[in-house]
């Protein structure tokens, strides 16, 4: 490879064959592109950690073709069944107690007795998982801690490891899944994501608790610094200062220099779709700082702001 303008795209059937042989492929989902391996094959899963330079204490989400496949590896209570029936396929990850049996190696769950599960809403990928007949572990296709990839080419280039990609177009949502823990008594929002908290609360008829930094539940992968471009970020900015690049949101005057707007009309879904690609684009010009306009905290704004805060966090913590 080494031509950053090209990428190796493969067919569905080639992807299934690679996964079955214990090799990695990059798969499209509605959230972000995933670096996928057969979740039942520890050697294959190890390649994910090595390729992403991902700390082993950070567990992976198992992507299933449907609820039946998920129910073989996680214990579904009433709330989990209702949420899965309502939101799957879709950007909701459920953290459940692990089912008995040893089909999923401990490496996937980082040794926890819980497992993170979802059914992605992308036909190519659900067909690949279905043909493989086993779940795939698939964290985002980028180096650990860096910006997520929301297009086939970006994912291929971001990993720089010549891992073939199934091209499913630009990601519909552009933000990672919302993660809910249901293994404890109260449902807990472990990570805000592409499915807004209030949609989940409406179905549960219950508020989602948010774990405090010292709370009893910690999501092992919730590092303070994540999704980080090389530039530093200045959040909730009113306007760019001299020398800063600018990432705007909503109607605003024309900006000089390197400037992009996540959604000139203030559409949150559009802003989520553009977030990682626009940050990456601005970062490519190597500014010292990217100033980012303030974004409302409502609906998926909670997840957009979560990503921006982690992208802005000091880098030596994680």
With respect to ligand AMP, which residue has the nearer C-beta, 14 or 143?
143
Q: Which does 115 bind (CB under 5 to 8 A by kind): ligand AMP, Mg ion, none?
A: ligand AMP
- Which residues are paired to 116 by β-bridges? 61, 95
Q: Is 221 an interacting residue with respect to ligand AMP (CB under 6 A)?
A: yes
Stretch that binds ligand AMP, among 77-85, 159-167, 206-214, 218-226 (CB under 6 A): 218-226
- Which residues are paired to 98 by β-bridges? 74
Q: Is 114 an interacting residue with respect to ligand AMP (CB under 6 A)?
A: yes
Stretch that binds ligand AMP, among 200-208, 216-224, 231-239, 255-263 (CB under 6 A): 216-224
According to CB under 6 A, which one of 65, 80, 115, 282 is a site residue for ligand AMP?
A: 115
Q: Which does 112 bind (CB under 5 to 8 A by kind): Mg ion, ligand AMP, none?
A: ligand AMP
Stretch that binds ligand AMP, among 113-121, 201-209, 249-257, 265-273 (CB under 6 A): 113-121
- Shortest separation between residue 221's beta carbon and ligand AMP, angstroms: 2
Buried b (16+ CB within 10 A) or exposed e, 263-292: beeeebebbbbbbbbbbbbbbeeebebbbb
* CA neighbor of 71 nearest in space, from 103, 42, 48, 46: 103
Q: Which does 59 bind (CB under 5 to 8 A by kind): Mg ion, ligand AMP, none?
A: ligand AMP
Total residues in contact with Mg ion, by rule CB under 5 A:
1
Q: Which does 61 bind (CB under 5 to 8 A by kind): ligand AMP, Mg ion, none?
A: ligand AMP
Q: Which does 28 bind (CB under 5 to 8 A by kind): ligand AMP, Mg ion, none?
A: none
Q: Is 178 an interacting residue with respect to Mg ion (CB under 5 A)?
A: no
Q: Which two tokens stand for residue 80?
A: 């989990």
Measured between alpha carbons, how far is 24 from 210 in angstroms, rounded to an integer?
A: 34
Q: Is 261 an interacting residue with respect to Mg ion (CB under 5 A)?
A: no
According to CB under 5 A, which one of 41, 51, 126, 140 is a site residue for Mg ion?
A: 140
With respect to ligand AMP, which residue has the nearer C-beta, 96 or 291?
96
With respect to Mg ion, which residue has the nearer C-beta, 135 or 287?
135
Stretch that binds ligand AMP, among 108-116, 203-211, 231-239, 297-305 (CB under 6 A): 108-116
Q: Cβ contacts of residue 34 below 8 Å, gap of 6+?
A: 26, 27, 28, 63, 120, 125, 136, 138, 139, 140, 141
* Interaction site with ligand AMP (CB under 6 A): 58-61, 95, 109, 112, 114-116, 139-140, 176, 179, 190, 219-222
* Interaction site with Mg ion (CB under 5 A): 140
């Amino acid at each position: 490879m080494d031509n950053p303008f090209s990428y190796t795209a493969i067919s569905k059937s080639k992807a299934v064959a690679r996964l079955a042989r214990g090799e990695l492929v990059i798969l499209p989902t509605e959230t972000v592109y995933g670096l996928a391996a057969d979740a039942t094959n520890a050697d294959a899963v190890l390649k994910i950690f090595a390729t992403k330079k991902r700390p082993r204490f950070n567990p992976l989400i198992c992507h299933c073709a449907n609820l039946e496949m998920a129910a073989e590896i996680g214990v579904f209570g009433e709330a989990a069944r209702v949420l899965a029936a309502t939101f799957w396929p879709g950007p909701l990850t459920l953290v459940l107690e692990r089912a008995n049996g040893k089909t999923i190696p401990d490496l996937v769950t980082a040794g926890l007795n819980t497992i993170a599960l979802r059914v992605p809403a992308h036909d190519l990928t659900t067909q690949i998982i279905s043909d493989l007949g086993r779940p795939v572990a698939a964290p985002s296709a980028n180096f650990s801690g860096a910006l997520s990839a929301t297009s086939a080419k970006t994912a291929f280039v971001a990993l720089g490891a010549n891992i073939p990609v199934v091209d499913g177009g630009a990601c519909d949502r552009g933000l990672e899944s919302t993660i809910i823990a249901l293994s404890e008594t109260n449902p807990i929002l472990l990570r805000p994501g592409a499915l807004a908290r209030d949609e989940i609360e409406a179905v549960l008829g219950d508020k989602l608790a948010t774990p405090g930094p010292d709370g009893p539940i910690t999501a092992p992968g919730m590092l303070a610094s994540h999704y980080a471009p090389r530039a530093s970020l200045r959040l909730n900015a009113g306007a760019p200062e001299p020398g800063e690049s600018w990432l705007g949101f909503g109607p605003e005057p024309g900006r000089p220099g390197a400037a992009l707007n996540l959604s000139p009309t203030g559409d949150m879904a559009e802003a989520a779709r553009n977030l990682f690609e626009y940050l990456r684009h601005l970062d490519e010009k190597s500014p010292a700082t990217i100033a980012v306009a303030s974004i409302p905290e409502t609906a998926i704004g909670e997840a957009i702001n979560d990503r921006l805060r982690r992208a802005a966090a000091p880098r030596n913590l994680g």
